[in-house]
Amino acid sequence: MYRALQCSLDEDLSRFTHFLRSRGVVHRITEEDGKQVIWTHDEAGAQIVQAFYAEGIPDQAFDSAENASPAAGSSNWPLVWRRIPVTLIVLALTGVVALLTGMGSRPETIGLFTFVPVDANGYFSSEMDLSQWWRLVAPIFLHFGLMHLAFNSLWYWELGRRIEMRSGGLWLLGLTLLFALISNTAQWWVSGHALFGGLSGVLYGLLGYCWLYQWLAPNVHFALPKGVVVLMLVWLALCLSGLITMLGFGAIANTAHVSGLLAGCAVGLAAGGLERARRGRQE
């Protein structure tokens, strides 16, 4: 357990603890040396408690607390922005690209976000152009249809904000770029076709990361709702079976999904193992 903060016995913490519970922050309060002490399961939880205590609880945030989801932050958008800027920026870029490409319906703009460039004759190049390095990542912002965009955006919001709240924006950015590079390259190399896109490869990477990290070093942020991992793995299996394509949902970038998941599991094992070892040394 981590000592998050301590307050005088005279201070009424009932409103604050109610707010913390509504945000999914697991904690308990004890009396020690004439002080109230708030304890959390891990350091990340302690940092959240300290931040909320320092910021104060806006009345509008408290009034809507019962409707808030765990780790989602508050309805105070300046506070949310400070907590999860990378998550919001990635989602904003995804929305902008969706508008520019008409949800993947405008050939003249789609070529700006494909893994390899389009030549003067309108054909995809057979090789990568490393001078256009941004193409290694760009396909993650390209989506084909509203359902594709909504599904991926919702899952990036769910997984990205958890990682950013736990480990910071730079770590989430690094994971997003790493999983994008691995999944995009694997998809292009295996399929031999450059017309693919979506955040799905990154999402499976983030899922694998949270899943294995939580298994080795549990924390309040990566405690995904029951059934989420099963649901995503079942969806992956259905995509691999070809059933989703047969039902008319279009071609699925299965290689990107699988490679992203494997990369995420590998990073989750490494990071979770290091965190578990660190905790063991502190006990």
pTM as predicted: 0.73
- Cα dihedral 154, 156, 157, 162 sign: positive
Claim to verify: residue 75 and residue 108 sit in the same structural domain: no
Alpha carbon distance 118, 198 (integer Å): 19
Q: How far lies 11's CA from each of 15, 36, 58, in Å? A: 11, 8, 18
Question: Half-sphere exposure (CA, 13 Å, Cβ side) for 35?
Answer: 10
What is the distance, to the nearest Å, from the Cα of residue 84 to the centroid of all Cα atoms in its chain?
Answer: 10
Claim to verify: residue 164 and residue 276 sit in the same structural domain: yes
Claim to verify: residue 167 and residue 232 sit in the same structural domain: yes
Say which CATH number the domain at 56 has: 3.30.70.2080
Q: Give the closest residue to 220 by CA, choosing from 167, 156, 274.
A: 167
Each as own residue / partner, the long-range contacts of residues 115-121 (CB below 8 Å, 24 or more positions apart, any chain) are 115/139, 115/184, 115/185, 115/187, 115/188, 115/194, 115/196, 116/188, 116/194
Alpha carbon distance 101, 222 (integer Å): 34
Claim to verify: residue 195 and residue 274 sit in the same structural domain: yes
Claim to verify: residue 128 and residue 218 sit in the same structural domain: yes
> What letter does residue 69 receive in the DSSP assignment?
P
Neighbouring-strand partners of residue 7:
36
Q: What share of the chain is helix, strand, coil (3-state, %, to 5)?
A: 65, 5, 30
Q: What is the pLDDT of residue 250?
A: 64
Domain enclosing residue 44, as ranges: 2-80
Claim to verify: residue 122 and residue 249 sit in the same structural domain: yes
Q: What is the pLDDT of residue 266?
A: 98
* Per-position pLDDT tens, the chain of length 283: 778 888 888 888 888 888 888 777 888 888 888 888 898 877 667 778 887 787 676 554 444 444 444 444 444 556 567 778 999 999 999 999 999 999 988 888 998 999 888 877 777 887 788 889 999 999 999 999 899 999 999 999 999 999 998 899 999 999 999 999 999 999 999 987 778 899 999 999 999 999 999 999 987 778 887 788 888 889 888 888 877 767 666 678 889 999 999 999 999 999 999 999 988 887 6
Domain end position, chosen among 60, 80, 100? 80
